[in-house]
Amino acid sequence: MTDGGTLLPTGLASGRSRALTYPLAGLGAAFALYACLQILFGRLPLLDLGFGRAPVPAGIFAYGAVVGSLYALVAFGLILTYRATRAINFAQAGMGAVPAVGALVLVFARGWPFFAALAAAVVVALALGAVIERQVIRPFEHSPRLVVSVATIGLSLLLAFFEIKVPGWLAGDLLTSVRLDTPFSTFTFDIGEVRFTGDALFTVVVVILTMVWLRWFLLRTSVGLTARAMAENGDRAAGLGLAVRGTSMTIWGVAAALSTIGIFLRAGLVGVPIGSSIGPAVLLLGLIAAVIARMDSFAVALVAAVGIGVVDQVVVFSTRNSAATYAVMFAVLVTVLFFQRNLWQHRSGDDAGGFQSSDDSAPMPRIMRGLPEVRALRTAGWVLGIAITVSAPWWLGPGRESLAGRFAILAMVGVSLVMLTGWAGQVSLGQFGFVGVGAGVAGSLVTRFDTDFFVVLVIAAAAGALLAVLVGLPALWTRGMFLAVTTLAFGFAVQFVLLNRDYVPWLLPERGAFVERPVLFGSLSTADDRTFYWLTLLFLAATIGFARALRRSHAGQKLIAARDNPLAAKAFAIEINRARLVTFAVSGGIAAIAGALLAYQRGSVDASGYGPLQSVDVFVMTVIGGISSVGGAIAGAVVVLLVPVLPWLENFDEVQLLTTSLGLLFVLSVLPGGLMDAFHQVRDSLLRVIARRRGLSVPELSRGDRDSVEVPDVVSLGADTDLGVIGTVERDPPEGSERELERSGR
């Protein structure tokens, strides 16, 4: 444990030996990393191991260390905000990217001086971080930590929208990338065969000064002392009269400034893309460094970030492609979480008690189901829903018929996420990775072997299920948002490695080949968008039927029990680990089937369409609809996918970013159970009107509670869960209720 977030271990003053812990550990880790990278990608200069590869120049290691130190600034911000809120800030990179990109555009297009732009970016970042804490984070101060983390996901999408739009607002011209000639660029020096500019030295100096300043800030200022007290116990710090809220605003401002400096300085070393979001990639590497540091120690985070930078640059030098970095990082993250499993199991309580969800296990009161008015309303609702769904290709209009098929496929992915996150409590930000695997398998089988459509789906489902079990192994020792970090890394690995022809060419269609849509039963062609949409609609209906049957089955009840109260579930001999892995397999298999259908619809498999951004989008989509409701997956898909294509809205991708981000923040603030929560509220209002007209007494409705009568379940009593859905069981109506219903004229 560290002394409230300082750079050195608690009790440092008690003995000099402890002061050597981090330096010696860092030297040992550096030597091990150097040896491993040389064995994998080169050979040791002092020991020819016979691998036949040229040695990696020492300058590559030095350059990687410099670039990695910038990831450390992002990791510092993550640690600061985590210690202030006990939530993972997925918007950390975005908070820095918006001011940094704006400042870089001013330098590049408007001729601003380098230091003036840097100072302006830092000031804007400080203000931005404070505003975010006040307007976005503080409203959730009494919410579970998982909700805060999910709110930062929505915030990251909103910041990505501004990151894309700011260059056009400031410069008017579309820039593709910025690599600055700074005041230090004219000074050069060589380390081995690698030439450096003064930007590298300036970066090292800035990082060192930042470390020194952070130590002073946390140990010598009133804000820093309050921040340390908040890290130990925020409620106690507030009870002692400390300025907790002001300190939290300052912490978030400082965190944003740290990321801004890191991304701004990156432009002088490797460049910064303009017109797209740099946030996700930088966030992942900073997150891994922070997790290695146990979200606690800045010194360990710096060492880890430097190591990540070295790995990245060695991979680039050896393969001329940085894609393999993400596979290495995924393996490193899983390994680190395994060895830190006791810590994360203990800290999973930080993420507990998340969403108040609209669960499909809470139907309308049984006493109301047989009333003629209720039956008429239900029938009308089903008829209207089916009519709208089936006729979607017509009312969407020409050129947008394929969007209907995409809706059905995304809804399938949403249902798979409902099973995994809503029912099993396993937060996944890499669900589209399984979609990508299914698409790759389908494309390869169709173009290489002309495999039958249904055989393709079976093989794709098996591949997705197997991979999901492997990815789900970390769920055995961690959960909540720390598991989400692992699945996010998996999403990057799928996009840049598994769907990369340089590494796994057999998993993709033949180059230039078209994935033709199937001809079913030898005569039914699905080549046109309308017919293929109806095919995907059938698979969506089958997925919904399977999910609802699973939810009502004994296995589904065990799954909910294991989610709500693992200790009680174990006491009743429920095999939690087995239940989690089975859910991962089922969820991954369904997502892979959706991916195979998506490959048929698109006619090709492009890795860029199956990345972590798509995974975040589908997660947000499902939360907006209702994370533990099958109907929520459908509603979320409608809002996220179809709203941006309304006639008065243009630029689909940017509008989708805006609608999903604002929609998520609105739902978390107003409708914690998602759109299905609003649907149930409207439904129960109508049921109360009907009950009053018939003179019926329905206790569930009189309380305004949309759930069935809630009674303690033996396996979910006192649940404190990742998703906060307390298990309920449906109670039979009181004796005499049926007779009362008969007298009312059913």
Write out pLDDT tens, residues 44-64: 443 333 344 567 788 999 999
> How much is the mean pLDDT over the chain?
81
Name the amino acid, one letter, at 384.
Answer: L
Tokens of 603: 């006619």
Q: Report the C-alpha gap between 479 and 562 in whole angstroms.
A: 13
Q: Any residues with CB less than 8 A from the CB of 409 and at least 6 apart, and which? A: 536, 540, 594, 597, 598, 601
Please check the confidence at residue 168 and state whether its pLDDT lies above 50: yes
Instruction: Report CA-CA distances (Å) from 277 to 79, 402, 550.
Output: 22, 27, 39
Same domain? 469 vs 577:
yes
Same domain? 83 vs 229:
yes
> Among residues 632, 351, 578, 592, which one has the least CA distance to residue 484?
351
Same domain? 385 vs 265:
no
Q: Which residues pair with 189 in a beta bridge?
A: 196
Tokens of 620: 């947000």
Tokens of 21: 């812990």
Q: Any residues with CB less than 8 A from the CB of 267 and at least 6 apart, and which? A: 100, 104, 178, 179, 180
- Residue linked to tokens 């069935």: 708
Band (pLDDT 50/70/90 cuts) for residue 696 is: confident
Residue with the bigger pLDDT between 742 and 335: it is 335
Q: From the centroid of its chain, how far is CA 43?
A: 38
Please check the confidence at residue 610 and state whether its pLDDT lies above 60: yes
Please check the confidence at residue 703 and state whether its pLDDT lies above 60: no
Please say whether the beta carbons of 38 and 58 come within 8 A. Answer: no
Same domain? 265 vs 392:
no
In this predicted structure, what is the pLDDT of residue 57?
A: 85
Q: Residue 525 domain-assigned?
A: yes
Q: How many residues does the chain have?
A: 746
Q: Report the C-alpha gap between 396 and 384 in whole angstroms.
A: 16
Check which CATH number belongs to the domain holding 658 and give it: 1.10.3470
**Cβ burial, residue 32 (10 Å; 0-12/13-18/19+):** exposed
- Residue linked to tokens 């990156």: 266
Least confident range of 102-116, 509-523, 644-658, 701-715? 701-715
Band (pLDDT 50/70/90 cuts) for residue 25 is: low
* SS3 labels along 6-57: CCCECCHHHCHHHHHHHHHHHHHHHHHHHHHHHHHHCCECCECCCCCCCCCC
Q: Report the C-alpha gap between 104 and 67 in whole angstroms.
A: 18
Q: Residue 590 domain-assigned?
A: yes
In this predicted structure, what is the pLDDT of residue 42?
A: 52
Beta pairing class for 177-178 and 272-273 = antiparallel
The CA angle 22-23-24, to the nearest 5 degrees, is 90
Rounding to the nearest 10 degrees, give the CA dihedral for residues 633, 638, 641, 644.
-140
In this predicted structure, what is the pLDDT of residue 522?
A: 84
In this predicted structure, what is the pLDDT of residue 53?
A: 54
Please say whether the beta carbons of 482 and 348 come within 8 A. Answer: yes
Q: Which of 225, 259, 279 is the last residue of a domain?
A: 279
In this predicted structure, what is the pLDDT of residue 488?
A: 92
Rounding to the nearest 10 degrees, give the CA dihedral for residues 446, 448, 451, 453.
-10
Residue with the bigger pLDDT between 432 and 171: it is 432
Please check the confidence at residue 280 and state whether its pLDDT lies above 50: yes
> Among residues 637, 629, 675, 243, which one has the least CA distance to residue 405?
637
Please say whether the beta carbons of 343 and 294 come within 8 A. Answer: yes
Q: Residue 86 domain-assigned?
A: yes
Same domain? 419 vs 272:
no
Work out the percent of the chain whose per-residue pLDDT is above 70.
80
Q: What's the pLDDT tens digit per position in 506-535?
A: 888 888 889 999 999 888 999 999 999 999
Please say whether the beta carbons of 357 and 628 come within 8 A. Answer: yes
In this predicted structure, what is the pLDDT of residue 392?
A: 84
Q: From the centroid of its chain, how far is CA 684?
A: 33
Q: Report the C-alpha gap between 321 and 38 in whole angstroms.
A: 17
Q: Report the C-alpha gap between 448 and 153 in whole angstroms.
A: 39
Same domain? 87 vs 209:
yes
Q: Report the C-alpha gap between 691 and 697 in whole angstroms.
A: 7
Q: Which of 655, 678, 701 is the last residue of a domain?
A: 678
In this predicted structure, what is the pLDDT of residue 97?
A: 94
Same domain? 559 vs 464:
yes
In this predicted structure, what is the pLDDT of residue 39?
A: 55
In this predicted structure, what is the pLDDT of residue 556?
A: 83
Please check the confidence at residue 312 and state whether its pLDDT lies above 60: yes
Band (pLDDT 50/70/90 cuts) for residue 619 is: very high
Please check the confidence at residue 204 and state whether its pLDDT lies above 80: yes
In this predicted structure, what is the pLDDT of residue 341?
A: 73
Q: Report the C-alpha gap between 430 and 584 in whole angstroms.
A: 12
Please check the confidence at residue 656 and state whether its pLDDT lies above 60: yes
Name the amino acid, one letter, at 234.
Answer: G
> Among residues 138, 3, 639, which one has the least CA distance to residue 12?
3
Q: Residue 698 domain-assigned?
A: no
Band (pLDDT 50/70/90 cuts) for residue 321 is: confident
Same domain? 374 vs 264:
no
- Residue linked to tokens 């089955």: 553
Expressed as residue numbers, the domain containing 147 is 70-279
Residue 542's H or E segment, with its range, is helix 529-552
Same domain? 172 vs 268:
yes
Q: What's the pLDDT tens digit per position in 473-485?
A: 887 777 678 888 8
Q: Residue 524 domain-assigned?
A: yes
Please check the confidence at residue 689 and state whether its pLDDT lies above 80: yes
Q: Residue 607 domain-assigned?
A: yes
In this predicted structure, what is the pLDDT of residue 436?
A: 96
- Dihedral pair phi/psi, residue 71, rounded to 5°: -65, -30
Domains held by the chain: number: 2
Please say whether the beta carbons of 481 and 146 come within 8 A. Answer: yes
Residue with the bigger pLDDT between 24 and 429: it is 429
Residue with the bigger pLDDT between 405 and 67: it is 67
**Cβ burial, residue 176 (10 Å; 0-12/13-18/19+):** exposed
Please say whether the beta carbons of 443 and 508 come within 8 A. Answer: yes
Same domain? 507 vs 618:
yes
Q: Report the C-alpha gap between 116 and 164 in whole angstroms.
A: 22
Listed in sequence order, the DSSP H helices in 348-426 are 366-369, 372-390, 392-396, 401-417
Same domain? 261 vs 402:
no
Please check the confidence at residue 121 and state whether its pLDDT lies above 90: yes
Q: Report the C-alpha gap between 604 and 610 in whole angstroms.
A: 12
Please say whether the beta carbons of 404 and 393 come within 8 A. Answer: yes
> Among residues 145, 161, 234, which one has the least CA distance to residue 137?
145
In this predicted structure, what is the pLDDT of residue 34?
A: 59
Q: What's the pLDDT tens digit per position in 30-41?
A: 666 555 655 555
Tokens of 242: 């400390």
Band (pLDDT 50/70/90 cuts) for residue 722 is: very low
Band (pLDDT 50/70/90 cuts) for residue 688 is: confident
In this predicted structure, what is the pLDDT of residue 483?
A: 84
Q: Residue 687 domain-assigned?
A: no
Which long-range contacts (C-beta less than 8 Å, at least 24 apart) are formed by 733-738?
733/365, 733/366, 733/367, 737/367, 738/367
Band (pLDDT 50/70/90 cuts) for residue 7 is: very low
Least confident range of 77-91, 242-256, 363-377, 487-501? 363-377
Averaged pLDDT for residues 657-677: 86
Please say whether the beta carbons of 134 and 343 come within 8 A. Answer: no
The CA angle 524-526-529, to the nearest 5 degrees, is 150
Averaged pLDDT for residues 495-501: 90
Q: Report the C-alpha gap between 415 and 581 in whole angstroms.
A: 17
Q: Which of 620, 648, 678 is the last residue of a domain?
A: 678
Instruction: Report CA-CA distances (Å) from 714 to 116, 550, 664, 729, 733.
Output: 64, 20, 34, 10, 20
Q: Residue 346 domain-assigned?
A: no
Please check the confidence at residue 349 and state whether its pLDDT lies above 50: no
Please check the confidence at residue 384 and state whether its pLDDT lies above 50: yes
Averaged pLDDT for residues 166-186: 76
Residue with the bigger pLDDT between 188 and 31: it is 188
DSSP 306-352: HHHHHHHHHHHHHHS-STHHHHHHHHHHHHHHHHTHHHHHHHGGGG-
In this predicted structure, what is the pLDDT of residue 702?
A: 61
Same domain? 564 vs 660:
yes
Please say whether the beta carbons of 515 and 443 come within 8 A. Answer: yes
Band (pLDDT 50/70/90 cuts) for residue 712 is: very low
Query: What one-character DSSP code corresponds to residue 184?
Result: T
> Among residues 389, 456, 300, 650, which one has the least CA distance to residue 659?
650
In this predicted structure, what is the pLDDT of residue 30?
A: 60
